[in-house]
Amino acid sequence: MILIPKDIFSKLTFLIGGSNYISNSPSGVYNYLGVEFLAELSKNLLSQKDIRKYPDVATFAFWCRNSNLKKITHNPFNNNLRVGLGLVYHNSPSNVPVNFAFSLAFGILSGNSSVVRLSSKESESASFIVTALLELLNISKYIEMKKTICIIKFDRDDEVNKFWMSNADGRVIWGGDITVAKMRSYPCKPRSREIVFPDRFSLCVIKASKIIESSDSNLNKVCENLFNDIYIMDQQACSSPQLFNWVGNDSTIKKAKDRLWPLFLKYLQKKHSLEPVQYMNKYVDACINAIKNDNIKSINHENNVLFNIELSYFHEQQQLQRGYFGTVHEISIKNLNDLSLIIDDRCQTLTYFGFEVEELKNFITSNKLRGVDRIVPVGKSLDMGVIWDGYDIINHLSRTVDVY
């Protein structure tokens, strides 16, 4: 057990928990109680009638449903004993509120106690999940779980950060470069482990010829997938695609674009609208972008739900040329290999359409790329999993006891 000193305790607001002790005794990886708890949480969330209002919460709930947990925990080949590290501290992000729940779930699955700091920004999605967690933790069979989950808020404070960093056996730091650097500045236990999520940049590659060859119904499916990638998280997640790379010769690309984008816009107009101020924000961003960056060739926005920003060449710092709420930066390249110019260790997710997986794997290895941690089809950019950002998270947050 870890005692939270009075001066630290008084600075914390507890959303879940509230005892001045928090357990740091590990449980087994994929321990029965933890898995059952998450499965029940999923059931409870999905059965609430308001769930439709929160697609991000629904995604989380769907992810931790019983059948998916079974898939994750199924590991027939390993006789080793795996147990948690003890106490894991999570600094959760504000741009994707629901990630605090994924982070907590990773902590539970890996057999750890978790202290989760929520962003000071209010989020309805986060509150929705916290309420469901609270209800579940009050059921007597989860009394042991109760000692291992603590969800808190506090104003930025060196002493509090220092306390958690010096007591945590593992830390999961979301929130980008600045937060990662800040949290690393605190001393931590010699054997503590870390998982950090700094700023990342994500891309999409589309083989133009495959768009032309696609049937109308297939293209509608592509639109739905693009919608999921671009609009569900407003392009604010690190895995949200920022730069769309059309691969092919100029005339094929032109034909492909002329086919896809009008269809996509039609799909969007039926499905999605933004707050008026967001249209304005996108517009102003695009104007500033146009003035400041010579690599912008043209900007199209027939409807403000979608801005297409065509680039004539890569920006020196392409990862900084970003857009939100449906701002598609796009560029034409002859060959997949042209893309290697801008891929460095900051590049996270590569979504693809029209490519074979082998082609893409080969692209990563033959160009000896330092980046790309995920290669997934369009539509899957936001699918969170226990492998993320290049980490096998459950492995990283647990120790393997070698047994033979």
Partner 1 sequence: MIDIKKYSTFSLTQPEKEVFLLERLNNLTEFHLENCPEYFSLISKFRVASSKAKNIADIPFIPVRLFKHIDLLSVPKNTVIKTMTSSGTSGQQISRIYLDKETSAFQVKILSKILSDFIGPKRLPMLTIDCKSIISNRKKFSARTAGVLGFSMFGRDVEFALDDDMSINFHRVTEFLEKYKDENILIFGFTSIIWRHFIEELERLEKKLNISNGILIHGGGWKQMELQSVTNEEYKKRILDTLNVKRVHNYYGMVEQTGSIFMECECGFLHASSFSDIIIRNPENFHLKGIKQNGLIQLLSVIPKSYPGHSLLSEDIGEIHGIDNCKCGRKGKYFKVYGRLKNAELRGCSDTYT
Residues that bind partner 1 (CB under 8 A): 91-95, 117-121, 156, 174-176, 178-179, 182-183, 199, 234, 236, 273, 275-281, 283-284, 287-288, 290-292, 296-300, 302-305
CB 286 within 8 A of CB 301: yes
Closer to partner 1 by Cβ: residue 138 or 273: 273
What is the distance between the alpha carbons of residues 391 and 110, in angstroms, rounded to a whole number? 13
Q: Is 351 helix (H, G, I), strand (E, B) or coil?
A: strand
Closest approach, Cβ 77 to partner 1, in A, equals 38
Closest approach, Cβ 344 to partner 1, in A, equals 19
Closer to partner 1 by Cβ: residue 12 or 205: 12
Cβ neighbours around 369 below 10 Å, total: 16
CB 290 within 8 A of CB 327: no
Closest approach, Cβ 254 to partner 1, in A, equals 16
Closer to partner 1 by Cβ: residue 15 or 118: 118
What is the distance between the alpha carbons of residues 392 and 205, in angstroms, rounded to a whole number? 25
Closer to partner 1 by Cβ: residue 65 or 254: 254
* Burial letters 191-226, b for 16+ CB under 10 A, else e: ebbbbbbbebbbbbbbbbbbbbebeeeebeebbebb
Closest CA to 240 of 368, 105, 384: 384
Provide the token pair at 16: 């879940």
Closest approach, Cβ 201 to partner 1, in A, equals 11
Closest approach, Cβ 288 to partner 1, in A, equals 5
Q: Is 350 helix (H, G, I), strand (E, B) or coil?
A: strand
Closest approach, Cβ 199 to partner 1, in A, equals 8
- Its sign, for the CA torsion 286, 290, 294, 295, is positive
Q: What's the DSSP call for residue 148?
A: T
- Pairing between β-strand 81-84 and β-strand 398-401 as defined by DSSP bridges: antiparallel
- Its sign, for the CA torsion 394, 177, 91, 97, is negative
Closer to partner 1 by Cβ: residue 44 or 304: 304
Closer to partner 1 by Cβ: residue 150 or 222: 150
Closest approach, Cβ 204 to partner 1, in A, equals 19
Closer to partner 1 by Cβ: residue 8 or 299: 299
* Angle, CA of 310, 325 and 178, to the nearest 5°: 95
Closer to partner 1 by Cβ: residue 23 or 59: 59
Closest approach, Cβ 352 to partner 1, in A, equals 24
Closest CA to 32 of 134, 130, 141, 135: 141
What is the distance between the alpha carbons of residues 364 and 382, in angstroms, rounded to a whole number? 21
